[in-house]
Amino acid sequence: MSNDAIAEGDVPLPAARPPIPVTLADVLLRSREAWPQATALVLPDARYTYDDLARRAWATARSLAGMGVKPGDHVGLLFPNSAEFVTTLFGIAMLGAVAVPINTRYRAWELGFLVKDADLSCIVTYDGTRDYVDFATLLEEAFPELASQRQPGQLALDAAPLLRAVVMLGETERPWLTGPAAFAAAASACDNRQLTVWCEGVPIRSIAAIVYTSGTTSQPRGALLSQESLVRSWVMAGRRWGLRQSDSFWNPCQMFHIAGIGPLVFTLAHGAAFVTATHFEAGQALDQIDREKPTILYPTYPPLTMDLLTHPKFAATDTSHARAWLNVAPPDTLRRMQAAIPHASLITLYGSTEGGCVTMLSPEEDLETRMTTGGLPLPGNQVRVVSAETGEPAPPGIIGEIQYRGYNAFVGYYKDPEKTRATLGDDGWVRTGDMGDFDAAGRLTFRGRLKDMLKVGGENVAPAELEQYLESHPAVKLAQVFGIPDDRLVEVPVACIELHDGMVVGAEEIIAFCKGRISSFKVPRHVKVVTAWPMSLTKIQRGKLREQFITEMDEARGA
């Protein structure tokens, strides 16, 4: 058959699409060139165009470069959702440095670990949420050495030897902080020509961000995300949504999470408006939805969604402009959610920090498909389900471990080759530790976790990390943590502890030991003192502990 005959056939060619941005900096720069005056970011008290964000991001890049930050350096972002987070993120990207978002719910113990583990050379933060958390004070708690530092921009800390500067974009003053005036003045030392070369020359496989995620090790691990894995994979997710330049995307998830930063990337790449707030409160969120009338809603996690749907304001909130929304929940829960906003197609997905959006439904798919599966892999993502016994691919309908590979996959865990080898094979397949199966059409359904990981209101909690902290209490000899079901948060942590001989401590004291020192979602909701552990040959049977605890709770309720 001739080429002419092929070209004249009835098989349609793929539709032309706008090119996918190559780097994180490209996302904002391309959209600024295409839609400079279009609304890019909406907060409850402010709106920003693409031109606004791009100019602020470039000013941030100049200031960072003037302070000595270079391509490849690691820069921490300690912000809630804000224009400052967005412009700092893209400023770091324009410089070719590596963004390290920091969970604003961290307390001193966790923050101190991340700053050192991530080899941060600079942290950028601000004080716009001092009513909720004072980041300057939190940093001093994590690094007491800061109080004696008198040369901002030239810090010398034994506990974090690479950290040279903490930039405060606000009014808070400390001798060790670089304030907004000094930060702006640093731009005068920037070589603008060199900065442009750096911006235009960022390699597609270079690291764009290190996003920390709790694992089964004793501390969170930093997932290394390349420019391609962060940008291309999430832009493809935006395409699966059918995102348009005229859309507005409401997302209450914090930007330091992949559920915040990923949708931010694809929203801005499509020239749409990203609608968010510094923190989530259901009544205020409904006011924002009513006022902004977003076309896509992204509450994502059942605790947030149910807070919205059960709030007294919900019935009067105008959601008529929403054409699609997303939640990650079991089918029965999804059906209840869909019934609450029936005109907007509810979809779900399967993904992770390490792989972004792996599979996802389209709003155009039928109701039953959307309620019962996690959708098809995004273009370029390979997904398989393998037998836990044989390691061979499982046929449709057979549950096994979910694995994926492709441009979406992370590069590895920072400074943790052992865990990288355990998760990322030489053949590129990412072993998730999650269970799932395919239907006959190739759609994936998540069936649970092989890992011990807890999911508390959408936040990952590693039992080993919490156990390590509990065992730092002088009375605690050994701790074991597991999850029990919770109507609002899906799971909550429970701690069983063995005490050192002669020590006496109550549950209230252990819980008080946790509050304010670790993230609130990690604080055990129940603590039980044990004197004997259920054991297999060599290990404590965590599952047996959980069964015993749930039985005791049920019996107590029935008493």
The residue among 469, 477, 475 whose CA lies nearest residue 493 is: 469
Mapping DSSP onto H, E and C, the string for 387-441 reads: CCCCCCECCCCCCEEEEEECCCCCCEECCCHHHHHHHECCCCCEEEEEEEEECCC
The pairing of strands 324-327 and 345-347 is: parallel
The residue among 103, 30, 497, 485 whose CA lies nearest residue 269 is: 30
Which run of H or E residues covers position 223? Answer: strand 221-226
The residues pairing with 435 across neighbouring beta strands, listed in sequence order, are 401, 448
The residue among 182, 149, 148 whose CA lies nearest residue 168 is: 182
The residue among 207, 206, 217, 211 whose CA lies nearest residue 422 is: 217
C-alpha to C-alpha distances, 14 to 1, 11, 242, nearest whole angstrom: 21, 10, 15
Question: Running along the chain, 559 residues long, what does each successive block of 10 average in pLDDT?
Answer: 51 79 95 97 97 98 98 97 97 98 93 96 91 90 96 96 96 96 98 97 96 69 96 96 97 95 98 96 97 97 88 96 93 90 97 95 97 96 90 91 96 96 95 92 88 82 85 90 89 93 93 94 95 72 88 82
The residue among 169, 10, 196 whose CA lies nearest residue 83 is: 169
Specify the long-range contacts of residues 116-120, CB closer than 8 Å, at least 24 apart.
116/159, 116/160, 117/219, 117/222, 117/414, 117/415, 118/74, 118/76, 118/210, 118/212, 118/222, 118/414, 119/74, 119/162, 119/415, 120/74, 120/75, 120/76, 120/160, 120/162, 120/163
pLDDT recorded at residue 216: 42
Per 3-state DSSP, what percentage of the chain is helix, strand, and coil (rounded to 5)? Answer: 35, 25, 40
pLDDT recorded at residue 559: 54
Q: Where are the strands (E) in 106-164, listed by range?
A: 120-125
Please answer whether residues 207 and 225 qualify as being in contact, where contact means their C-beta atoms are separated by less than 8 angstroms.
Answer: yes
pLDDT recorded at residue 312: 95
CB atoms within 10 A of CB 181: 8
pLDDT recorded at residue 11: 79
pLDDT recorded at residue 458: 85
Phi/psi at 111 (5° precision): -65, -45
Question: Whole-angstrom Cα distance, residue 521 to residue 459?
Answer: 7
Q: What is the DSSP letter of 15?
A: P
Half-sphere exposure of 262 (CA within 13 A, CB side): 27
Q: Which domains does the chain have, with CATH numbers?
A: 24-34+49-202 (3.40.50.980), 221-449 (3.40.50.12780), 454-558 (3.30.300.30)
pLDDT recorded at residue 504: 93
pLDDT recorded at residue 15: 75
The residues pairing with 351 across neighbouring beta strands, listed in sequence order, are 357
Question: Whole-angstrom Cα distance, residue 152 to residue 136?
Answer: 13
Residues 6+ away with beta carbon under 8 Å from 387: 393, 394, 398, 400
Mapping DSSP onto H, E and C, the string for 453-482 reads: CEEECCEEECHHHHHHHHCCCCCEEEEEEE
